[in-house]
Amino acid sequence: MAVSLALQGKVALITGGARGIGAETVRLFTQAGARVVFNYQRARERALALQSECGGPDRCLAVQQELSTPAEGRALAAAAVAAFGRLDALVVNHGVWPPRDVPISRMEDAQWRHTLGVNLDSVFGLVQAAVAQMERQDAPSEVRGHIVLISSTAGQRGEAFHADYAVTKGALISLTKSLSSELAPRGIRVNCVAPGWVATEMTETTLNDPEQGPKIRTAIPVGRVAEPREIAGPVLFLCTPLAGFISGEVLNVNGGSVLVG
């Protein structure tokens, strides 16, 4: 008998869904039978194309929404519930990684605040609203809902010249553990996926750099960076009944890279 990663009847909200890891996650969740809401900021044509590819607005809805404050996070969660009437899974995938190396002694307040706003403040609003909705709605089983936060290996070992990014990703790991302790007894499973290097638009400049690119790949035991679908797959798994006994886990998806420090 085939084993199915099925999400029929479920509604998922996936942030940053117009490209990269987010877009592949949207595709996988709709293929698994879920109805999906995802947000985009400026890539309207790309978002609408993905919406159409995944079944149209009755199955997959693109919502234009900035995410840099708690209020914006709550607004996006409300839009998802308004569209499909419930919320069973929240995948917090959006984030910024300023590609330019900046020593902490020269990092501007504006960069620090922007990175924390997008990568952390909005997450608070999203999680707060999602948990409130999950606790209100009917639960057909002991699991009322799933939350998956996307962190990074940088959140565990730090990243020189990108302290703002590493701080936010480390905070998401701490948030995962805190929320798991709080919410697991109430039927909400909270886990974290921590990718290493992934071939996306956000990392393209660095990975294509003739000096940095080869150095990065050499440090990965499998010899290459990940494709977005290789991150989306573990995210999907963590939102299925097969992961019903997993809570507070940080799942490293990094090609065997060893975490140090």
Catalytic residues: 165
Q: In whole angstroms, give the CA distance from residue 179 to residue 64.
A: 27
Listed in sequence order, the residues at least 6 apart from 235 whose beta carbon sits closer than 8 Å to its beta carbon are 25, 28, 91, 93, 148, 150, 193
Of 73, 88, 80, the residue nearest 125 (C-alpha): 73
Of 183, 179, 15, 7, the residue nearest 90 (C-alpha): 15
Of 26, 37, 113, the residue nearest 75 (C-alpha): 37
Q: In whole angstroms, give the CA distance from residue 118 to residue 244.
A: 29
Judge contact between 14 and 93, C-beta under 8 A.
yes
- CA distances to 115, 128, 154, 194, 252 from 235, in Å: 23, 20, 18, 10, 11
On the 0-12 / 13-18 / 19+ scale of CB atoms within 10 A, 160 is exposed
- CA distances to 163, 202, 242 from 122, in Å: 19, 19, 29
Query: Any idea which residue has 């909200």 for tokens?
Result: 13
